[in-house]
Amino acid sequence: MRQILVRSEYCLGCKSCELACAVAHSTSKTLFEAINEPMPPQKRVFVESSGGLNFPLQCRQCLDSPCVHACMSGAMQFDRATGLIQVDEHKCVGCLMCVMVCPFGVIAELPDTHRVAKCDRCQDLDYDPACVAACPTKALEFVEVREFAHSGRQTFLDQMKGVN
């Protein structure tokens, strides 16, 4: 299964992914219309930095899924069909227990409804993540893990070539 993977060394912190994410979760799906929607769309990817390191963080779809365990309304569930953890916003009551246990801090509160939202891997866009498409330096990739690892090894070898 393809995953959203990050090459943090390419992340310039421009937050294009954050903007694209919010737009992808708007009603209109266009930036110029989304900014006028009565309920401003909420991004689910967060570009954070620490020292020189930038990182676009979004739900990592953890296998031990503490958010699912913490959810007392049954809103946060593992979706067998896609292998993704999804929030049912109708069931969510905004207790924020999932926020409390998410080790990446990537579950956001929707300010208007007081419910939570997180990366749904762009369900509405046929699972074609908007953040990945928006990244101008290809710091975000949507690939099979083995492809990602392969290209990482390739890069390493290319660099070694310079050394030897």
Partner 1 sequence: MESQKSIDPAVLELLPKAALDGVETVWDRHEAQQPQCGFGSLGVCCRHCLQGPCRIDPFGNGPKTGICGASADVIVTRNLLMHVAAGAAAHVDHAYEVVEALELAAKGEINYSIADENKLQQVAKRLGLEIVGKSKEDLALEVVEVAYADIANHGKKPVQWLMANAPKERIAVWESLGIVPRNPDREIREAMHQVTMGMDADPVNLVLATAKQGLVDGYSGLKLATDMQDILFGTPAPVVTEANLGVLKEDYVNLIVHGHVPLLSEKIVYWADKLQDEARLAGAQGILVSGICCSGNEVLMRKGIPLVTNFLAQEIAIVTGAIDAMVVDVQCIMPSLTQVASCYHTEIITTMPIVKMPGATHVPFTLENADEAAQEIVRMSITAYGRRNPHKVKIPNYKRKIMAGFSVEAIIGALSTVDPVQPLKPLVDNIVNGNILGVVATVGCNNVQVTQDLLHVELVKELLKNNVLVVATGCSAHALAKAGLMNSEGTEAYAGESLKAVLTAIGQAAGLGAPLPPVLHMGSCVDNSRIGDLVTAIAEYLNVDSALLPVAASAPELQHDKALSIGTWAVTMGITTHLGVVPPVLGSKAVTKLLTQGLSDVIGGKFYIETDAKKAAEGLLEDIRAKRKKLGLPS
Partner 2 sequence: MSYIIVGNSAAGLFAIEEIRRHDTKSEIIVLTAEQEPSYSRCLITYFLAGEIPASQLYLRDVDFAARLNLTVVYGAEVTEIDSAHQIVRSADGREWHYSKLLLAMGALANKLSILGDDLPEVFTLRTMRDALAINNILEQGARKAIVIGGGLVSLKSAYALRKRGLEVTVLVSSGQILSQMLDAKAADIIQEHLRANGLRFLLETEAQAITGQNHVQGVLIAPETELDADLVIVGKGVRPNSEKLRGFGFNIGLGLQVDSYLETNISNIYAAGDITETWDFVRQKFTVNATWPNATTQGRIAGANMYGRQEVYLGSLGLNSVDFFGLSAMSAGITKLLKKEAHEDWSQTENLKMLGGLPIYRNLIWQGDVLKGFVLVGDTSQCGVLTALVKAGQPLTQTQKNLTKGKRGTLAVGMMK
Nearest to 26 by CA among 99, 112, 92, 91: 112
Question: Residue 159 carries which DSSP code?
Answer: H
In this complex, which beta carbon is closest to partner 1, that of residue 27 or of residue 49?
49
Q: Does the footprint of partner 2 cover residue 9 (CB under 8 A)?
A: no
**Shortest CB 121 distance to partner 2, Å:** 19
Buried/exposed code over 82-101 (b: 16+ C-beta within 10 A; e: otherwise): eebbbbeeeebeeeebbbee
Cβ proximity of 60 and 104 under 8 Å: yes
State how far the alpha carbon of 106 is from the alpha carbons of 32, 143, 150, 159, in Å.
Answer: 26, 21, 27, 33
**Count of residues making up the chain:** 164
Q: Which residues bind partner 1 (CB under 8 A)?
A: 10-15, 47-51, 54, 136-138
Question: Any contact of residue 84 with partner 2 (CB under 8 A)?
Answer: no
State which of residues 9, 30, 31, 69 lies at the interface with partner 2 (CB under 8 A). 69
Q: Given the rule CB under 8 A, which of 34-42, 48-56, 116-124, 146-154 is the region that contacts partner 2?
A: 48-56
Q: Choose the stretch contacting partner 2; rule: CB under 8 A; options: 88-96, 120-128, 139-147, 152-160.
A: 88-96
Residues within the interface to partner 2 (CB under 8 A): 8, 46, 48-51, 53-55, 57, 66, 68-70, 72-74, 90-91, 93-97, 99-107, 109, 114
